[in-house]
Amino acid sequence: MRLADNYEKNGDLIVTTLYDYARRIANQVTVVKDQGRDWDQLIDDLVTSKYFGYPLMFLLLGVVFWITIVGANCPSQLLSDLFFWFEGQLTFVFQLVQAPEWLYGLLVLGVYRGLSWVVSVMLPPMAIFFPLFTLLEDLGYLPRVAFNLDHLFKRSGAHGKMSLTMSMGFGCNAAGVIAARIIESPRERLIAILTNNFVPCNGRFPGLIAMSSMFMAVGISMASSSLVSALVVASIVITGIMITLAISWLLSRTLLKGESSSFTLELPPYRKPQVITVLIRSFFDRTIFVLWRAVKVAAPAGALIWFLANITVGEYSFIAYLADFLDPLGRIMGLDGVILLAFILGLPANEIVIPIMVMTYLSEGAMIELDSLSAFRQLLLDQGWTWLTALNFMLFSLLHFPCGTTLLTIKKETGSKKWTILAAVLPTIVGIIVCTVIAWIVG
Amino acid sequence: MLMIISLDQLPVGESGIVTVIDAHGLTRRRLLDLGLVPGTVVKTIRKSPAGDPIAYLIRGSIVALRVNDSKQISIKPFSEVAINE
Amino acid sequence: MSDYLISLAGNPNTGKSTVFNRLTGLKQHTGNWPGKTVLQAWGFYRYQNEQYTLVDLPGTYSLLAHSPEEQVARDFICFGQPDATVVVVDATSLERNLNLVLQVLEITSQVVVCLNLVDEAKRKNIQVNAAKLGDELGVPVVETVARRGIGLKELQEQIHLLVHGKIKTNPLKIHYPPELENKISDLIKQLHYLPESLNKRWVALRLLEGDQSILRGIQEVTRLAFS
């Protein structure tokens, strides 16, 4: 008998014996009375049903976005009012002590404005989205999503657990990349790492939400406009999922050839979520964590942008030259140079892409008080934005290189420069192609 | 008459006893870890919308397996066991 | 400096991380899917003026080291020399969970079983006789509802009694079929060079099923023992 067969036979005997003991003891100490109605089965019948399974999933996704958008509106406005009131106070202090103009510009117009944008735009949606998502997680719904979607992943040569790493990616792509450790096979793990960025992380959500409410849902009543924005954001997410599957398919037929390996997924019983604990934990663990990271990056970035915008070479500012240089490519993609520059300078964190864009636009044009979405919309319209620009902005936000933190994480997890570079180049190419094609079709 | 079918053929709601596990290497070990050994009672609980994977009740837990894997598990459906005994 | 090192093992979805959070007060997210805790989490608590370090091991169905998580969990219980191991068990699915408990008992006798989710079991009309389970396994069994903090003081008390040698455990011995038992006793004779801290019967079992990863762990421990 071969050694391997021997091992297998011994292994079988060991497992069988252990499970025999387990069953015997369990039967001796457990009394099961009438089980009554099994709610778990009833819920599962519905959420994994052939006809309702998928629609329910997308409905739930839509509802989560809708609650986030509707709920974030008011606190966002309040925070932004508060920050602008404080900016007035700061300005007063700076004038009082007769601080030099450049210091005022750097600290107040650069650092402070960058910070206040990040906090007022990001905090409310995060404080709503994260707890909602964590509730679904605690409830036990996510494994059902993996169950429903697995055959799509299998056909793309990917692992079913990838839907779980993607779910983590909604929070933070770096976390999603780390979560890929739950996938045992190296080939499928790499696919999960390389494609995680196609799920819009929390740093990109506020931008998607702002764009869709400003440009995709105008001229209709308040109630239905938030519904339309929710649908637009949901479609962007679904686009991301489809691109994930397509790229996985491509990778498993080219660079990462191979069959999908075996996979087992437990469907645990539903648990009543610990609502209070979830609220507190997701606020401190996720919201504050992500926000703090963004703030740490936004402050120096704000200063840097202010410098770039105020150092003039000849007639124009440095930032204007950079934007000008990128403008031809931006135009082809239905965007402009400033937007591309914002994405490039936003490498440290996706959260600061929009603040950079705004500051760059403002440094070129008139100073306005950007105290509401409608003022923001007006600014963009003045810069020649149309709904197409907004759409391509959303798509490029979905389809471009991951943020610096995520790239570092990918480098650490794969231990390879090659895969890290691919993880940056792949989505960028996809983004350039998608935006260009859409701009070409519409134009 | 003895009827042995592969696990993926077991209809929803039916139970059976595992007779042979024809998987090897890592797949076999993962199945064993779940308590899938010859003699284990398995019940088909539900199919996913696409029909693959399929969820089974294995030792008190619900576990989903892909058809590729469940094909390698032979079982004797309960109705057959009853007739033979 | 901590007085005692306690490892926390359990299947996925047993509320293990909730037990961990409740005991240590460390805020850490608990998920509802396997493999959530791939990284080990550490936490501390004080009981009766002594400091305990609690290590949250990855949730696994077994310790046969078929996946990275299982290997991490097994290596810690086996080579990390914890003063005690707490195995968190889901009362609603005892059979599956006992498989892991039995495997832990094969490695170490310093075990406390935390029978969690008893409220959920009650709701499903499942009654588990904890005292009888303790008799069968030969180690303390504590009933808990971790999410509401019920039973955790008792768990700490049992850990305290165990590490101070005030409870003598008498763990259940697994008897394998004769053909395997013969191979085990043959192999144990050849393992006399192993350090005392290693359970030779357990090592023999792993070698018999062709576990490669165990050899690395043994080398490490042997090197430490002789140096």
What is the per-residue pLDDT across C89-98, written as a single tens digit (0 to 9) for each?
Answer: 999 889 989 9
Distance, in Å, from the CA atom of A406 to the CA atom of A171, rounded to the nearest integer, reads 12
- Closest chain B residue to C61 measured between Cα atoms? B33
Backbone angles phi, psi at A337, to 5 degrees: -60, -40
- Closest chain B residue to C126 measured between Cα atoms? B60
Residue A254 included in any domain? yes
- CA B3, B5, B7: angle at the middle one, nearest 5? 145
Q: Provide the residue range defining the domain that includes A208.
A: 50-260+276-442
Q: What is the mean pLDDT of chain A?
A: 84
Please give the helix or strand (H or E) that residue C83 lies within, else none.
none
Residue type, A217: A
Give pLDDT tens digits for A219-266: 666 667 788 888 898 899 999 999 999 999 999 999 888 766 677 888
Instruction: Name the minimum distance, in Å, from the CA of B36 to any CA of chain C.
Output: 11
In this predicted structure, the answer to whether residue C192 has a pLDDT above a threshold of 90 is no
In this predicted structure, the answer to whether residue A271 has a pLDDT above a threshold of 90 is no
Q: What is the mean pLDDT of chain C?
A: 85
In this predicted structure, the answer to whether residue A392 has a pLDDT above a threshold of 70 is yes
Backbone angles phi, psi at C84, to 5 degrees: -155, 155
> How large is the average pLDDT for residues C135-148?
94
Query: Of A54-63, A125-134, A238-247, where does mean pLDDT reach its minimum?
Result: A125-134
Structure confidence at residue C30 (pLDDT): 41
C196 near B CB under 8 A = no
**Where in chain B are the domains?**
5-84
Please give the helix or strand (H or E) that residue A372 lies within, else none.
none
Residue A190 included in any domain? yes
Structure confidence at residue A365 (pLDDT): 46
Give the closest of A17, A26, A181 to C174, CB-based. Answer: A17
Positive or negative: CA dihedral C175, C176, C181, C183: negative
Mutate to test the interface with B, among C33, C96, C101, C206 (most CBs of B within 10 A): C96
Bigger pLDDT: B40 or A134? Answer: B40
- B-chain CB neighbours of C95 within 8 Å are 35, 59-60
Whether the Cβ atoms of residue C156 and residue C47 lie closer than 8 Å to each other = yes
A135 near C CB under 8 A = no
Nearest to B7, CA basis, from B67, B84, B82, B59: B67
Bigger pLDDT: A370 or C10? Answer: C10
Instruction: Name the minimum distance, in Å, from the CA of A188 to any CA of chain B.
Output: 15
Mutate to test the interface with A, among C93, C139, C175, C209 (most CBs of A within 10 A): C209
Give the closest of A8, A18, A28 to C103, CB-based. Answer: A18
Residue type, A47: V
Structure confidence at residue C227 (pLDDT): 54
Structure confidence at residue B84 (pLDDT): 46
C64 near B CB under 8 A = yes
If 0-12 CB within 10 Å is exposed, 13-18 middle and 19+ buried, where does residue C174 land?
Answer: middle
Give the closest of A22, A36, A134 to C99, CB-based. Answer: A22
A19 near B CB under 8 A = yes
Bigger pLDDT: A227 or A25? Answer: A25
Number of domains present in the structure of chain A: 1
In this predicted structure, the answer to whether residue A367 has a pLDDT above a threshold of 60 is no
Query: Of A88-97, A176-185, A424-433, where does mean pLDDT reach its minimum?
Result: A176-185
Whether the Cβ atoms of residue B21 and residue A122 lie closer than 8 Å to each other = no
Distance, in Å, from the CA atom of A309 to the CA atom of C176, rounded to the nearest integer, reads 77
Residue A139 included in any domain? yes
Structure confidence at residue C226 (pLDDT): 59
Give the closest of A17, A26, A140 to C98, CB-based. Answer: A26
DSSP β-bridge partners for residue C114:
C88, C142
| Alpha-helix runs per DSSP H in A220-336 | 222-253, 275-281, 289-310, 318-332
Residue A7 included in any domain? no
Tell me the ipTM for this assembly: 0.90
In this predicted structure, the answer to whether residue C212 has a pLDDT above a threshold of 50 is yes
Whether the Cβ atoms of residue C59 and residue C28 lie closer than 8 Å to each other = no
Nearest to A351, CA basis, from A103, A142, A123, A181: A123
Residue A29 included in any domain? no
Name the superfamily (CATH) of residues C4-163: P-loop containing nucleotide triphosphate hydrolases (3.40.50.300)
User: Which CATH number applies to B5-84: 3.40.50.970, 3.40.50.300, 2.30.30.90, 3.30.1280.10?
Assistant: 2.30.30.90
**Where in chain C are the domains?**
4-163, 178-226
Structure confidence at residue A77 (pLDDT): 80
Structure confidence at residue A248 (pLDDT): 94
Q: Along the 85 residues of chain B, how does pLDDT read in single tens digits?
A: 568 999 999 999 999 999 988 888 778 878 888 888 888 899 999 999 989 899 999 988 899 999 988 999 999 998 755 544 4
Residue A115 included in any domain? yes
> How large is the average pLDDT for residues C37-47?
71
Interface of B with C in 6-45 (CB under 8 A): 26, 29-30, 32-35
Bigger pLDDT: A29 or B82? Answer: A29
> How large is the average pLDDT for residues A373-395?
89
A254 near B CB under 8 A = no
Query: How would residue A192 be classed by pLDDT, with cut points 50, 70 and 90?
Result: very high
